Amino acid sequence: MLDELLSVVDENDLVIGQKSRGEIHRLGLRHRSVHLLIFNQAGDLLLQKRSMLKDSCPGFWDSSAAGHVEAGESYDQCVMREATEELGIELSQLPERTGKLSPNKNNGMEFCQAYKTVHEGPFRPEEAEVDELRWFSQKELKNWLEQGGEGLTESVKILINQLA
Cα–Cα distance between 54 and 63 in angstroms, integer? 15
pLDDT digits over 59-112, tens only? Answer: 899 999 999 999 999 999 999 999 999 999 999 999 999 999 999 887 889 999
Q: With CA atoms as reference, report the closest residue to 32 among 52, 50, 14, 49.
A: 14
pLDDT digits over 9-23, tens only? Answer: 999 999 999 999 999
The correct answer on CATH 3.90.79.10 for the domain covering 5-163 is yes
pTM reported for the whole predicted model: 0.92
Report how far apart, in Å, the C-alpha atoms of 34 and of each of 28, 77, 143 are: 18, 10, 25
pLDDT above 60 (res 5): yes
pLDDT above 70 (res 2): no
Query: Domains of the chain: which residue ranges?
Result: 5-163
Q: Of all helices (H) and strands (E), which one includes residue 67?
A: strand 65-68
Percent of the chain residues topping a pLDDT of 90: 81
pLDDT digits over 112-158, tens only? Answer: 999 999 999 999 999 888 999 999 999 999 999 999 999 999 889 98
Q: Give the number of C-alpha atoms closer than 13 A to the C-alpha of residue 102, restricted to the C-beta side.
A: 3
The H-assigned helical ranges of the chain are 21-27, 75-87, 138-146, 154-163
pLDDT digits over 102-114, tens only? Answer: 998 878 899 999 9
